Amino acid sequence: MDLKGRNFLTLKDFTPEEIQYLIDLAADLKAKKKQGETGESLKGKNIALLFEKPSTRTRCAFTVACVDEGAHPEYLGKDDIQLGHKESVEDTARVLGRMFDGIEFRGFKHETVEKLAQYSGVPVWNGLTDTYHPTQILADCLTMQEHFGYLKGLNFAYLGDGRNNMANSLMIGCGKLGINCKIVAPKSLWPEKELVELCQGYAKAAGSTLEVTDQADAVQGADVLYTDVWCSMGEEEKAAERVGLLKPYQINKAMMEKTGKESTIFMHCLPAVKGNEVTEEVFESPASVVFDEAENRMHTIKAVMVATLGER
């Protein structure tokens, strides 16, 4: 499958077959790395890593993935360049596009990563914006595929803040890949109706369902319980209010038992605030696959770069 030259901004832009291809490519690259094999598909390439928001997994994943495939990663933090401050995003994009072969962006406005893609002339990859987090979804899907052996037909429940970038992206990914998805959240934190309807269309085409509910009992039958922090970056002042609102949606032992399945796994994109969205007991339990997921960020990000920029 040829994805050469494509941007990776949101999974809306990719077909189910293309998404599955990236997951399978990641699995292949992961297996090779475990055998001590790395590649040269990005040899001679220079990659700009733009970070408005700090990061552990995204930064480390892009850096290691670049080095594994022979590329040079250059980290550019918010104090290192003029992005949108002294220089417009459009102008920065055109400068970076002359010097780099690919650009990763992690920051606030989704519009920024869209402008980088429009003006740079090189592949641009979304390492997270306030609206979408597509590389995380690939890692999540690879983790589920490794654990269950398949994706289509799995029952997935996300609990917590239903209108953040993770809920948005999970609805898109699950819908496209035929995973039955429930967003379980208080009504004041439901995702945008327009996006829900779009993702219900994806799900219908893939033979699965998408439901948004405020009833915690909806986790019954779930193969996967997923959560994220209750306050996204930049929302710290809402912390007390969120705790009160979201406490009934905490993933604890009782919530895991509500699924009625002993095989249910717990997932989290990390970092986690233990005692809020998840208890220490569940986080550290054998059901938790959060560190497989964290590792898989690197393998799936590598797959995205290899597919869109690499020589294969």
**Location of structure tokens 């239903």:** 162
> Exactly one of 6, 242, 297, 299 is catalytic; which is it?
297
Q: Count Cβ atoms within 10 A of the Cβ of residue 186 and give its class: 0-12 exposed, 13-18 middle, 19 or more buried.
A: middle
88 annotated ligand-binding residue: no
Whether residue 93 contacts residue 116, with contact meaning beta carbons closer than 8 Å, is answered with yes
Residue 161 to residue 183: CA distance in whole angstroms: 9
Residue 174 to residue 244: CA distance in whole angstroms: 29
288 annotated ligand-binding residue: no
Active-site residue, 133 included? yes
270 annotated ligand-binding residue: yes
Residue 217 to residue 83: CA distance in whole angstroms: 45
170 annotated ligand-binding residue: no
Coil, strand, or helix at residue 246?
A: helix
135 annotated ligand-binding residue: yes
Coil, strand, or helix at residue 72?
A: strand
> Exactly one of 20, 59, 130, 136 is catalytic; which is it?
136
Active-site residue, 94 included? no
Which residues are CB-neighbours of 56 under 8 A, at least 6 positions away?
Answer: 270, 271
**Location of structure tokens 């996967």:** 224
134 annotated ligand-binding residue: yes
Whether residue 194 contacts residue 171, with contact meaning beta carbons closer than 8 Å, is answered with no
56 annotated ligand-binding residue: yes
> Exactly one of 6, 181, 228, 299 is catalytic; which is it?
228
232 annotated ligand-binding residue: yes
2 annotated ligand-binding residue: no
136 annotated ligand-binding residue: yes
Active-site residue, 136 included? yes
130 annotated ligand-binding residue: no
55 annotated ligand-binding residue: yes
Q: Using the 8-state DSSP alphabet, how is residue 238 labeled?
A: G
Q: Count Cβ atoms within 10 A of the Cβ of residue 247 and give its class: 0-12 exposed, 13-18 middle, 19 or more buried.
A: exposed
242 annotated ligand-binding residue: no
> Exactly one of 6, 106, 268, 299 is catalytic; which is it?
106
144 annotated ligand-binding residue: no
Three-state DSSP string of 78-123:
CCCCCECCCECHHHHHHHHHHHCCEEEEECCCHHHHHHHHHHHCCC
> Exactly one of 133, 242, 268, 299 is catalytic; which is it?
133
Active-site residue, 106 included? yes
Phi, psi dihedral angles at 259 (to 5 degrees)? -70, -25
What the block records as the tokens of 160 is 């917590």
215 annotated ligand-binding residue: no
> Exactly one of 6, 242, 269, 299 is catalytic; which is it?
269
Active-site residue, 228 included? yes
For the annotated binding site for L-ornithine, the residues are 165, 228, 232-233
For the annotated binding site for carbamoyl phosphate, the residues are 55-58, 82, 106, 133-136, 269-270, 297
What amino acid positions are annotated as catalytic residues?
Answer: 106, 133, 136, 228, 269, 297
For the annotated binding site, the residues are 55-58, 82, 106, 133-136, 165, 228, 232-233, 269-270, 297
